[in-house]
Amino acid sequence: MSRITALAAIALITVLGITGCGTKERDELRTKVTALEQQLAQSTSEASKMQAELTGLRGQLQTAQEGQAQAQSQIESLTRDLEQTLTELNQVKADLAAAKKKKK
């Protein structure tokens, strides 16, 4: 944005300087102003494209964060299920060991 402001300031100074110059200098300044206006238009266009790209990237980031939250929730759920299964497995092993002792 500061580049756009600088270009606009240069164009303004150039236009103001035209009034005290000769024809040749005036033509040169007009050429410079035209070039600066083209640069300004190009910079504005690039800024618009970058803004659109930024908006798209923000959307992708939000989608990724939502996916991450969902994955974290699944991890927590699966961890609880695994802990419960391990507890049950240990209980079955203990019951099996007790049953073997009774048989002896």
Domain positions in the chain are 2-103
pTM, 2 dp: 0.56
| pLDDT value at 92 more than 90 | yes
Q: Which residues contact 17 (CB under 8 A, 6 or more apart)?
A: 29
Q: Which of 59, 3, 69 is nearest to 36 (CA)?
A: 3
> Rounded to a whole number, what is the distance in angstroms from the first to the last CA of the chain?
87
CA–CA separation, 94 and 102 (whole Å): 12
pLDDT at 62: 97
pLDDT at 23: 83
pLDDT band at 24 (very low <50, low <70, confident <90, very high): confident
Burial label for 7, CB within 10 Å (0-12, 13-18, 19+), is buried
pLDDT at 22: 75
Q: Which residues contact 97 (CB under 8 A, 6 or more apart)?
A: none
For the residues 23-45, what does the mean pLDDT come to?
A: 90
Task: State the average pLDDT for the chain.
Answer: 88
φ, ψ of residue 22 in degrees (nearest 5): -80, 180
pLDDT at 25: 86
Q: Which of 9, 2, 10 is nearest to 29 (CA)?
A: 10
For the residues 74-88, what does the mean pLDDT come to?
A: 97
| pLDDT value at 26 more than 90 | no
